[in-house]
Chains A and B, each alone.
Chain A
């Protein structure tokens, strides 16, 4: 299997205390040697309890967190840190944030938010940006009028659609979804997950889905990695991990959920 994305022996250490000169005096190892691989068109779910290091792995993949050691390999090439990544790879790997409130600039109209990536690249007229914004809105199921409005006028689910549209504007290969639905009402969660499923199939996207919620993971994932205290304790095909977990920690996680939905059996790999 050739992987589109590989995480090799990733370690992330955060300084948690500093002396007067700003030197770190205490550390927390949030990620302790995580290795993952994701094939093109696949959805890898990362599940684990709060504090297990899921967000840190997600941030390291998109370059928002500097690994202490280890590598992120994209399409066979080790990725530099975000600063070095800017020109060459910007837009290939994008993150959809957990909190749709904080991930949209309250002072920008939706059309400007969703086309921000294109504005960063430049060379598109205002008119072209607006036209593209309309296409993106349609892709994620937002009405045309929404484009002139500001984020505060939208519900959580709609905001998350806006955030997804913003990521899609750059035609990324990989979307890293950090708890994409955990800030949403249960009734809205399924809608957003279905949109993600549909987009993946339509655009051939590769997902890394991070969630503490087994049923969210089950909805989209082909394969699942289970994290605990910065390590992957179990990894495998989604249906197998979620129905017949081999690690006691996974078993505890799965049993805590009343009913587990069907894993993503869509065509992949």
Chain B
């Protein structure tokens, strides 16, 4: 793809992500109503001057609920990816450095977990732990760990053989020195790239589980839960499910574009 187009897309992705984060941060200022304020006089209304995205079955303002919904939806996505990336990087780095039987064992477990159908396992885990946003984040985050473990381990093994690491060792560098000075900084860039692309999947998975009722519990406004609530009115009040659905899609696409941009940016040759 053309470099300029790529840069524009990445910039667009970054701007949208920026806007979404601002919306989450300033939700109290941006919302026009209390997101949980019930109003029996205005149930399932179409978008209007007073209610920009209409109202739900309890007369709550949908625009305000979608704005507030940015908070749990983004928090879950960032939570999942942070847990997976930090946990996986530490595990993979150690596994690669220690080697031997530890490495073999870790990698066997990783292979097994990666071979399992992730969402089904997450579903079972959340069902066992009890449906909540926290449990959902934990389950999806844990299931993401093997991807980062494999990535970090491969990078560690490759970096360990680099001539600059060997040079450091002949100059008397200890293993921790080599790890913090050479291995982690060089491995972080690929982790960041995968993580920013992973946010896209995380927001879909997170809202997906909330959609089937395993995450956000009423009355909390969360995008997946909102789509689910709007589902039964899809024929008459189609905007109810559409507005939070569009928010999910927008976030997923924006994270994806951002991830591509980060990959280009982080390459030192293009810096």
- Residues of chain B with a CB closer than 8 A to A265's CB: none
Judge if A67 is at the interface, Cβ distance under 8 Å: no
Interface size on A, residues (CB 8 A): 32
Judge if B268 is at the interface, Cβ distance under 8 Å: yes
- Which of these binds chain B: A28-36, A98-106, A225-233? A98-106
The residue on B at minimum CB distance from A170 is B171
What per-residue 1/0 map shows which CB atoms of B153-189 lie under 8 Å from chain A? 0000000001110111111111001000110011000
Judge if A152 is at the interface, Cβ distance under 8 Å: yes
Chain A CB within 10 A, most for which of B163, B164, B171, B181: B171
Given A102-B163, A105-B182, A106-B186, A94 and B171 contact (CB-CB distance below 8 Å): yes
Asked whether, in the complex, the Cβ of B170 is within 8 Å of the Cβ of A62, the reply is yes
Asked whether, in the complex, the Cβ of A120 is within 8 Å of the Cβ of B268, the reply is no
Q: How far is the CB of B155 from chain A (nearest CB, A)?
A: 13
What per-residue 1/0 map shows which CB atoms of A65-86 lie under 8 Å from chain B? 0000000000000000010011
- Residues of chain B with a CB closer than 8 A to A116's CB: 167-168, 171, 173, 181
Interface size on B, residues (CB 8 A): 21
Given A64-B166, A106-B268, A152-B269, A91 and B185 contact (CB-CB distance below 8 Å): no
- Residues of chain B with a CB closer than 8 A to A87's CB: 172
Asked whether, in the complex, the Cβ of A90 is within 8 Å of the Cβ of B164, the reply is no
The residue on B at minimum CB distance from A59 is B166
Q: How far is the CB of B122 from chain A (nearest CB, A)?
A: 33
- Residues of chain B with a CB closer than 8 A to A86's CB: 172, 174
Q: How far is the CB of A221 from chain B (nearest CB, A)?
A: 22
Judge if A223 is at the interface, Cβ distance under 8 Å: no
What per-residue 1/0 map shows which CB atoms of A175-211 lie under 8 Å from chain B? 0000000000000000000000000000000000000
Judge if A166 is at the interface, Cβ distance under 8 Å: yes
Asked whether, in the complex, the Cβ of A150 is within 8 Å of the Cβ of B268, the reply is yes
Asked whether, in the complex, the Cβ of A103 is within 8 Å of the Cβ of B164, the reply is yes
Taken together as a complex, chains A and B put the C-alpha atoms of A85 and B170 apart, in Å, by 9
Taken together as a complex, chains A and B put the C-alpha atoms of A116 and B137 apart, in Å, by 41
What per-residue 1/0 map shows which CB atoms of A148-166 lie under 8 Å from chain B? 0010100000000001001
Binding site for B on A (CB under 8 A): 22, 62-64, 82, 85-87, 90-91, 93-95, 97, 99, 102-108, 113, 116-117, 120-121, 150, 152, 163, 166, 170
Binding site for A on B (CB under 8 A): 100, 162-164, 166-174, 177, 181-182, 185-186, 268-269, 271
